[in-house]
Amino acid sequence: MSGRLLPTDPASIGGHRLLARLGEGGMGVVYLGRTEAGSLAAVKVIQAEYADEPDFRARFRREVEAARRVTSPWAVPVTGADPEAAAPWLATAFVPGPSLAEAVADHGPLPARSVRVLGRMLGAALRQVHATGLVHRDVKPANVLLAVDGPRLIDFGIARATDETAITSTDLVVGTPGFLSPEQAEARGAAVGPASDIFSLGCLLAYAATGRPPFGTGTTDALLYRTVHDEPDLDGIEAEDPAGAEGDTAGVGLLTLLRLCLAKDPADRPTAEQLGTVLLVEDAVPEGGRIDWLPDDVVRAIADRSAAMLALPDIEPTVAEAPAHDSASASTAGDGEPPSPGRRRLLLASGAAVLLAA
């Protein structure tokens, strides 16, 4: 969801006219921006006080480099960035659909086939992530956006190259409790490799299938303990036979898949490559932009939000206030007089209102 811009927000960043706020965290703000060509983008801007810290700027620079290395159709692409700016920023293609977390919260768990197809597409995204030598380390429902042609994996803010030393402390738990691996929960550092993302994907798919995290809710310490020591809660997921009339070529059932992904030992988990070549071979990725693998109510939610966003490029751009003119210069301005502050506020409010309606 989005919210209106605040008076302290900039009018533009890196050639993007800012239209609304998409979200805010402890380190910065994500805006909805529009380029001069009319393309929409999610623009992540880091607060200046954090950008002044050399370690933090190094982490952000690494985020930009990591995101640019991933070219999967199921991962959101980078469209621009400036990690050296006073307020570093990163722009990615804007996906108007809801996150998986929103879709499940609003419409309930997904059918087993939907979850299997989702797993295949996200497995393909992770296959590309891992092929470039990266580990995402924060695969969770909020970091998967649903678009008209499939999901998009977003946010490489804590991704790490498998052949590099992490900048973060070795005893720091990195990730989202409830959707991280046992090796992340125990802060094993270099042991957090591609198999960690597969465990997180298993948590995400279990959430999509049941509407609840597989290790429950509660305090961070409780979630970390359960992740390391307890078996996941997969109640309600039937051990179906996906092969049917196709023999044994359809891969494994959803329950079996989740148990494999959620193995405590990283060596016992499948790879992202195996998800698409062995385990989910009959769950084809949608073609031609079809999304009939999703329930109708989720399809309508994606379509409604996408249709509303398509109108945004027609919003009249806001105009920055010009410097004050003396009487002499004003007399020669002619028809080029800038809009009044009141008109500028009206234009800003109009853009935000359309976004809130969406």
Q: Which domains does the chain have, with CATH numbers?
A: 1-93 (3.30.200.20), 100-300 (1.10.510.10)
pTM over 0.75, yes/no? yes
> CB–CB of 94/309 below 8 Å?
yes
Q: Is 138 a catalytic residue?
A: yes
Q: What are phi and psi of 266, to 5 degrees?
A: -55, -30
Per-residue pLDDT reduced to its tens digit, 238-286:
876 555 444 444 568 899 999 999 999 999 999 999 988 877 765 555 5
Per-residue pLDDT reduced to its tens digit, 152-161:
999 876 666 6
pLDDT of residue 149: 80
Which residue, chain included where needed, has tokens 């079996």?
256
Which residue, chain included where needed, has tokens 């700016």?
85
How many other C-beta atoms are found inside a 10 Å radius of the C-beta of residue 142? 16
Query: Of the listed 52, 106, 138, 230, which one is catalytic?
Result: 138
**Minimal CA–CA distance to 176: which of 120, 137, 214?**
137
Q: Rounded to whole angstroms, how far apart are CA atoms 46 and 62?
A: 14
Q: What is the pLDDT along the chain (358 residues), one digit of tens a residue?
A: 668 899 999 999 999 999 989 888 767 899 999 999 988 999 999 887 787 888 888 888 887 888 888 889 999 999 999 988 988 999 999 998 899 999 999 999 999 989 998 999 999 999 999 998 889 999 999 999 998 788 999 987 666 665 554 444 445 556 789 999 999 999 888 889 999 999 999 999 999 999 999 999 999 999 999 999 999 999 999 876 555 444 444 568 899 999 999 999 999 999 999 988 877 765 555 555 555 778 999 989 988 887 776 665 444 444 444 444 444 444 334 444 444 444 444 333 444 443 334 3
DSSP annotation string for 203-251: HHHHHHHHSS-TT--S-HHHHHHHHHHSPP--TT-----S-GGGTT-S-
> CB–CB of 146/310 below 8 Å?
no
Q: What is residue 202's three-state secondary structure?
A: helix
Alpha helix (H) residue ranges in 161-193: 182-185
